[in-house]
């Protein structure tokens, strides 16, 4: 394994941008007016309407709703891009069974989420799944999104947010494995992922299983992974605060500014493994790039501290065919 040099830029002035919100529904919108799990005016009903009607590209919550207590996953599988304006709404996953996600999007379109809190999910708080036949660039934007886990000792919760373009994401190779690393699975779509995370928070997620992060972005097959993270917190998650995993042919290009990544990786303290020597410990931010491609990283006015292993862990796992920058 080879650690790449990291380009660190020191900015003189930090800028904090408030989360964008909107209380006005536009054409092609469905409005959430109810705090019920289902029924007229509910978030679930709005998503089902978008699933059935490709002209619905926006879901807007009215303000001052009580927390919405989800009883099952809300699934978006429409073909169109979707934007969700939460206006401070809360999706509460306390009653979700098993390892159910709170909100899951399986779509060839893009996804934008603004001003929404997701708490206490049994599985992933928010999951975006790229179709296997996708191409081009898929864009995900999170602004003012908070994904909060519950009591870690209850052993619940997957990734806070999972953006996935890999067929077998749990079969990642361990770059520290002995005697030889297990090669990562390159399966995934031909699409690239372009991700923007602004003014967001991922806290206390990932205690339901090993290797569940605050924010996880998986890119597989041909395609690049580009991500900008600004003014964001990733704190006290079970595994990495933020993990980027790029397999197959493609590059990773990430920018992190004005962000704090602290106290992550305590899953192993609460649930000790049978053989600690066989476990890859978790970091503040972990970037893994495999097969042909390179890594470009920019860090500005950001902190990674009190994490279980490294604060910043940037790995090029295939030096024979990659050119680090």
Q: Note whether 61 and 89 are within 8 A (CB).
A: yes
Query: In the 8-state DSSP scheme, what is residue 268?
Result: H
- Residue 323 domain-assigned (yes or no): no
Which whole number is the average pLDDT over 171-199? 68
Q: What is the number of alpha carbons within 13 Å of residue 87 lying toward its C-beta?
A: 16
Confidence of residue 273 (pLDDT cuts 50, 70, 90): confident
The residue behind tokens 């090993």 is: 210
Q: Is the peptide bond before 179 cis (omega within 30 degrees of 0)?
A: yes
Residue 3 has pLDDT above 70, yes or no: no
* Proportion of the chain above pLDDT 90, given as a percent: 73
- Any idea which of 209-218, 232-241, 289-298, 315-324 has the lowest mean pLDDT? 315-324
The span from the CA of 209 to the CA of 67, in Å, is 26
- Any idea which of 54-63, 230-239, 307-316 has the lowest mean pLDDT? 307-316
The span from the CA of 83 to the CA of 220, in Å, is 25
* Tally of domains in the chain: 1
- Residue 324 domain-assigned (yes or no): no
Three-state DSSP at 34 gives coil
Residue 6 has pLDDT above 70, yes or no: no
Which whole number is the average pLDDT over 22-34? 73
Which whole number is the average pLDDT over 89-106? 97
Residue 265 has pLDDT above 60, yes or no: yes
Residue 102 phi/psi, 5° resolution?
-80, -55
Residue 168 has a pLDDT of 78
- Residue 321 domain-assigned (yes or no): no
Residue 169 has pLDDT above 70, yes or no: yes
- Residue 141 domain-assigned (yes or no): yes
In whole numbers, what is the pLDDT of the chain averaged over residues? 86
- Residue 322 domain-assigned (yes or no): no
Residue 164 has pLDDT above 70, yes or no: yes
Which whole number is the average pLDDT over 85-114? 98
Find the helix or strand (DSSP H, E) in which 66 lies: none
Which whole number is the average pLDDT over 93-100? 97
Confidence of residue 27 (pLDDT cuts 50, 70, 90): low
Domain containing residue 101: 2-316
Confidence of residue 211 (pLDDT cuts 50, 70, 90): very high
The span from the CA of 248 to the CA of 231, in Å, is 30
Which whole number is the average pLDDT over 295-318? 92
Residue 8 has pLDDT above 80, yes or no: no
> Going by DSSP bridges, is the β-strand pair 161-165/126-129 parallel, antiparallel, or unpaired?
parallel
Q: Which of 148, 159, 147, 75 is nearest to 111 (CA)?
A: 75
Q: Note whether 92 and 146 are within 8 A (CB).
A: no
- Residue 325 domain-assigned (yes or no): no
Residue 167 has a pLDDT of 86
Residue 2 has a pLDDT of 34
Residue 318 has a pLDDT of 67
Residue 291 has pLDDT above 90, yes or no: no
The span from the CA of 195 to the CA of 119, in Å, is 22
Residue 65 has pLDDT above 50, yes or no: yes
């Amino acid at each position: 394994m080879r650690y790449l040099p990291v380009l660190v830029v020191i900015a003189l002035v930090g800028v904090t941008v408030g989360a964008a919100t909107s209380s006005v529904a536009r054409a092609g919108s469905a409005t959430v007016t109810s705090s019920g799990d289902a029924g007229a005016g509910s978030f679930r009903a709005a998503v089902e309407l978008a699933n059935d009607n490709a002209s619905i590209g926006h879901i807007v919550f009215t303000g001052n709703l009580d927390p919405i207590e989800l009883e099952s996953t809300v699934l978006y599988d429409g073909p169109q891009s979707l934007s969700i304006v939460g206006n401070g709404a809360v999706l509460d996953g306390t009653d979700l069974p098993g390892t159910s996600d709170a909100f899951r999007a399986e779509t060839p379109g893009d996804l934008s989420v603004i001003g929404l809190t997701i708490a206490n999910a049994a599985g992933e708080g928010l999951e975006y799944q790229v179709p296997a036949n996708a191409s081009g660039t898929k864009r995900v934007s999170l602004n003012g999104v908070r994904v909060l886990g519950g009591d870690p000792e209850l052993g619940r919760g997957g990734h806070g947010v999972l953006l996935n373009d890999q067929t077998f994401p749990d079969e990642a190779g361990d770059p520290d494995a002995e005697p030889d690393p297990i090669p990562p699975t390159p399966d995934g779509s031909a699409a690239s992922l372009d991700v923007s995370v602004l003014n967001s928070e991922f806290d206390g997620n990932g205690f339901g299983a090993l290797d569940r992060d605050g924010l996880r972005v998986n890119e597989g097959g041909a395609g690049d992974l580009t991500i900008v993270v600004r003014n964001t917190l990733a704190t006290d998650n079970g595994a990495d605060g933020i993990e980027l995993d790029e397999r197959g042919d493609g590059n990773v290009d990430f920018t992190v500014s004005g962000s704090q990544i602290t106290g992550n990786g305590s899953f192993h303290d609460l649930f000790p493994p049978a053989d600690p020597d066989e476990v890859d410990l978790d970091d503040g931010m972990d970037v893994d790039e495999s097969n042909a491609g390179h890594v470009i990283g920019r860090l500005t006015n950001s902190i990674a501290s009190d994490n279980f292993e490294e604060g910043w862990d940037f790995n090029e796992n295939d030096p024979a065919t990659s050119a680090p920058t």
